[in-house]
Amino acid sequence: VPTAVLISGRGSNMVKLVEAARDPAYPAEIALVLSNRALVPGLVYAEEQGIPTAVVESRAFKGDRAGFEAAMDAVLARHGIELVALAGFMRVLTEGFVERWQDRLINIHPSLLPSFRGLDTHARALAAGVRLHGCTVHLVRHGVDEGPILAQAAVPVLPDDDEAALAARVLAEEHRIYPAALAWLAAGRVRVEGDLARVDAPGA
Ligand code: GRF
């Protein structure tokens, strides 16, 4: 299934999706890496790998989110994209875009949703004193960091953690669960029932 990965910067989750998709048995093909910022490290990596890349600069649209997304949709259509994976993509999408891509649009978020939606999740987890933190892959719905959950992984918060140490522990789990969750979606194993997603066993 031709899949686009949308990034804004480093792109380490995108790298893991690309690596997973090298396996011929993997059900998604990374057919496009699209960034809303030019010259970011993730784009350089994708180009080196010979993966089609595109830049749709959100800055150029000066707050015209619908125009920005129309430009993205045109690029996605040109590449025959059927699934979209947000991976550190730092723009909030409009309801129109989310509805057009309903159940074909996934995101990874660095917290155990529904806790800590939004930014600075690791600092907020430390400030809250939680003993468990983690990451979530979910289908994107209108609300920021809302939508049916596909996969989660938990990590301990250790007494001497700072933000960087905790972020690194969570990121290692992001890199594990995101390729798995994208594969379930691409293989048609995800059934959405209202606010919940069920993942069928392979071949079920
Ligand atoms: C990840 O922690 C992701 O969950 C969050 O932003 C970070 C992006 O990292 N949304 P990378 O660009 O995938 O390396």
- Structural domains present in the chain: 1-101 (3.40.50.170), 108-199 (3.40.50.170)
Q: What is the pLDDT of residue 203?
A: 81
* Alpha carbon nearest to ligand 1 atom 12, residue: 11
Burial class (CB in 10 A: 0-12, 13-18, 19+), 48: exposed
Closest ligand 1 atom, CA of 8? 12
- To the question of whether residue 65 is assigned a binding role by annotation, the answer is yes
Closest ligand 1 atom, CA of 15? 13
Q: What is the pLDDT of residue 96?
A: 96
pLDDT tens-place values along the chain, 204 residues long = 999 999 999 999 999 999 999 999 999 999 999 999 999 999 999 999 999 999 999 999 998 999 999 999 999 999 999 999 999 999 999 999 999 999 999 999 999 999 999 999 999 999 999 999 999 999 999 999 999 999 999 999 999 999 999 999 999 999 999 999 999 999 999 999 999 999 999 987
The verdict on whether 133 is a catalytic residue reads no
Q: Which residues pair with 139 in a beta bridge?
A: 106
User: Does residue 38 contact residue 8 with C-beta atoms inside 8 Å?
Assistant: no
Residue 92 DSSP symbol: P
Q: Is the dihedral of CA 106, 32, 203, 23 positive or negative?
A: negative
